[in-house]
Amino acid sequence: MHKHAKFIIGAIAVVLLIVAGTLLPGELALGRDRMIFGQIQIDPLDAAELADYIHVSMVDKVSLLGLTSGTMQLQLKTGAVYDEDTIREKFIEELQKLYELRFYPRPAAKEFDRFSSAVALHIRNDAPAINMIVWEISFRADNLSGLFYLDDDTGKILSFAFSGTGHNSLVYTNGMPEEWASYLGAEMKNKQRGPKPDDMDDETIEISYLFELYSGPLSVCAQLSSSIQGAAGKTNRWSLNYLQMN
């Protein structure tokens, strides 16, 4: 058990008691315009030990990011694997992987103009065994700013949204959905082109693809979107998020 492991099982027990006793609904929409209803603050207990850390599939985890209701969030002081110091280095490491896979326009910056992180336990109300500890990281560096979600268990980036200016614009390639599925350790199917925005101007290149990530009977719909604005590709926006769970 990692030295930073905290009282997650106890936190889950608290949630179950709250749900069973008061039927308090939780509603969570993750993304740039996320709203949290019924958020609970809880302090970890240093004396407690985790008997087991519940592992669920990556598709189960990203399904929690796609749910707009039925999920509860508990703010934590630290993760079970990473803390505020180690998550920064892990984020830089994973950002470098995204650069190598062409999901990020330049090598990860060692220094940030702004960097903040917060960690929370996400639990599905109707199936509490489906849960994850996720880090929310926002940053600004080298004319880029973004919001990323990292899995505390694996350290992998689960979703992202970022924008920047400069000449290092990304170019969408057909194999990107497959590469994202491979990065997460999932399978991909049903890739299709997203609708073209009605208000897109002549100097904007905007592409979106919808595809499903699946593992066994569970599948989650993902959307990869990119927008390059300006004749020289001066503004670059990318996002990867999850829309719904089957």
Q: What is the pLDDT of residue 96?
A: 94
Q: What is the pLDDT of residue 198?
A: 61
Q: What is the pLDDT of residue 200?
A: 56
- In the block, tokens 């399904």 appear at 63
Q: For residue range 172-184, what is the model confidence (pLDDT) as tens digits?
A: 778 899 999 999 9
d(CA 145, CA 237): 10
Which residues in the chain show pLDDT less than 50? 1-7, 13-53, 246
d(CA 128, CA 231): 49
Output b/e per residue, 132-156; b: 16+ Cβ within 10 A: bbbbebbbbbbebbbbbbbbbbbbb
